[in-house]
Amino acid sequence: MELVPLKPQPRQKPGSACEECRKRKLACDRQRPCKTCATTGVACRVNPNRLARGPKKGGLKTLSSRIDMIERRLSLDQMNEHSLLGSDTDDTAHHGLNNNILVASSASDREPSRLPSPCEKNLGWDSEIFVDIPPSTPGIAFVPPPPPNFQFPPSPPLQPKRPAIDELMRADLDQLYFDRVHPNVPIFCQSRYYAWSRQILITGGPSYLFCLQYAMWTLAMAQSSQFESFRDHLYGETRRMLDTLDLNEHGIGGVPIEQIQSWLLLAFYEFARTNFRRGWISAGRAFRLAQLAGLHHVDSSDSTADGEDPILTEERRRTFWLAYCLDRFVCMGNRLPLTLVEDVILTRLPSPELSFQNGHPIQMGFLSDAAGWADYGMLSSFAECAVIASLIERIRSHSQRSSTERAYQAVPADFWEFWERHERLAKTAIGISSSLTESYPVISAISDPMLYFALMMAHTTIIQLCQILESMRLEDQCGQTVLEFQNRAMSAAQNIAALVKAHEHVGYFKSHIFLPILVFSGASRLISHQAMTIDGARHDQQGSQADIRHGVDVGLESCINALEKIQSFNNLARDSRDRLYIVDGQDSGTGGYAQ
């Protein structure tokens, strides 16, 4: 008996499933009404306009023919390239070459005519070499040899691929920026940023807004170990886009605020992750752009515009004050000249952070209004930082002036002028330091990175004033006064060490990029005091120096540990630690840290 094979049962019953079964993802029995709709009491509806599943009719044949055509094009281009590169003027070589580039038409009668190669288009010399020559054999493509002394034109430089940043990574980098970078670089209104960042996704294309967003993400990556492998690529792409946009400008119109902000953020990144010289050059570029944009007189009578968005005006103020502070941070540990001078500023101090983020910035006073320090507690932490940065610059100017006077062997009248300046600056520095220490406990200062940095700067000003007096060598004339300044400097260094020790429990990813310079200032003072304590103990064997030396050692150890932890993501910390090693070797006469 012959077995008849059974026909395979179809996977689905004929007809269309109802909308209710489709929504519930159930198998419809194709009855009207179906069992599911009859059970649930729902109207059984079928959508007759639903498109059929599967590829369109004839789509597979079209796709197959396109694949065949592309394969033949690729084979022709590859052989053409080999023939041009390996050709010789010898007839025998040409004969062998022609035999190698013969392509038989073995597919079908659908052989397409020869298409121009993308490589030929890019090189721009197809009209000279690939002329239309009839083939010598049916179905054979012939490629003529190159002319004598032929040289390929130089290939254009490859453009780096733009880093692929998906939506989840964007959100992660935005959150990382506002958590770790913004507290120390508070120049953006968060709601306004998210508004124009969505606009970038729609418009696309290179622009200063696009560069600014990449610069923000680059600096955010510098404050994290999560994107270590991606960081350099994004920095290179950001720098390339900025340079390209700057070169394409013709000097017509104003300077976009986004251009200044982008270079400022890149400068912070370069100070932390590349080297000091590159960061200083980028910072100088941002300073000049800020001057061209007139950010130093945002609130002058000529610059004030009625109806201007107060958030945008406040961002312009904050961009200027960030550049102003950066100019002083860079010059804090060296004798580089300033770019943004204090005398021509007509821009109000930054508004408190909360009112700025709420969209209603409070109008603050000018820098000259804060000279009396009476309303110092009313300033925002960003404004406090700007005011103390101004004081640091005045102390540095005072030091340079005294060095010049000493070099020219100033007359005694100049000494009293020096002493008057020094006392005035010391009174201001002590007042600021005491006010901040009393108003803000250590715990509250650590929670606000900008306030923490301002408090560290306030202690540093007292150390700098002491160093100026010691450089004048006035122990014989004013020994008691010099000793008082040394004690104040020692107390300020211990306060810096205590703040550094307290910061260990929070971590250093949120710390200010220029924090290592202040840590170095306190640690170097502790080393100097340690050397003076040892010398004092040699002359006064009966005096007990153990307690003082133990406190110095503990504070110095805290500063060194902090620099070693920060140096993994901040090159300024590594440089400060190396300088600290040199200072210790000079003061103690040894090659390592004094123990």
pLDDT of residue 545: 63
d(CA 343, CA 368): 9
Q: Roughly what angle, to the nearest 10 degrees, separates helices 449-472 and 381-407?
A: 10
Model confidence band, residue 108 (pLDDT cutoffs 50, 70, 90): very low
d(CA 314, CA 322): 12
Residue 1's CB is within 10 A of a number of other CB atoms, namely 3
Q: Is the pLDDT of residue 542 over 60?
A: no
- Per-residue exposure over 149-164, b if at least 16 CB sit within 10 Å of its own CB, e if not: eeeeeeeeeeeeeeee
For the chain, the residue count is 595
Give the residue from 45, 42, 12 showing the smallest Cα distance to 29.
12
DSSP assignment letter at 289 = H
Give the pLDDT confidence of 22-63 residue by residue, as tens digits.
888 888 888 889 988 988 888 898 888 876 666 666 777 788
Give me the residue spans of the domains in the chain.
Answer: 14-45, 64-106+119-144, 167-330, 399-588
pLDDT of residue 76: 72
d(CA 271, CA 280): 8
Give the residue from 489, 587, 580 showing the smallest Cα distance to 531.
587
Give the pLDDT confidence of 274-331 residue by residue, as tens digits.
999 999 999 999 999 999 999 999 998 776 556 688 999 999 999 999 999 999 999 9
Residues 6+ apart with CB under 8 A from 455: 436, 437, 440, 445, 499
Contact between 395 and 429 (Cβ < 8 Å): yes
pLDDT of residue 185: 97
Give the residue from 397, 373, 493, 513 showing the smallest Cα distance to 450.
513
Contact between 165 and 217 (Cβ < 8 Å): yes
d(CA 24, CA 441): 61
3-class secondary-structure state, position 204: coil
Give the residue from 486, 515, 509, 531 showing the smallest Cα distance to 577.
515
Average pLDDT over residues 468-494: 85
Give the residue from 286, 452, 333 showing the smallest Cα distance to 382.
452
196 phi, psi to nearest 5 deg: -80, -20
Q: Kindly state the percentage of the chain with pLDDT values over 70.
A: 73
User: What's the one-letter identity of residue 268?
Assistant: F
Give the residue from 210, 216, 221 showing the smallest Cα distance to 188.
216
CATH code reported for the domain at 14-45: 4.10.240.10
Contact between 588 and 526 (Cβ < 8 Å): no
d(CA 536, CA 428): 31
Q: Which of 523-527, 545-549, 590-594 has the lowest mean pLDDT?
A: 590-594
Q: Is the pLDDT of residue 92 over 50?
A: no
User: What's the one-letter identity of residue 102?
Assistant: L
Give the pLDDT confidence of 124-143 residue by residue, as tens digits.
434 443 344 444 444 444 44
User: What's the one-letter identity of residue 86?
Assistant: G
ω into 33 cis (within 30 of 0): yes
Residue showing tokens 């002319």? 147
pLDDT of residue 2: 54
Residues 6+ apart with CB under 8 A from 78: none
Q: Kindly state the percentage of the chain with pLDDT values over 90.
A: 44
Give the pLDDT confidence of 439-472 residue by residue, as tens digits.
888 877 888 999 999 999 999 999 999 999 888 8
Average pLDDT over residues 257-263: 97
Strands (E) located in 198-267: none
Contact between 594 and 530 (Cβ < 8 Å): yes
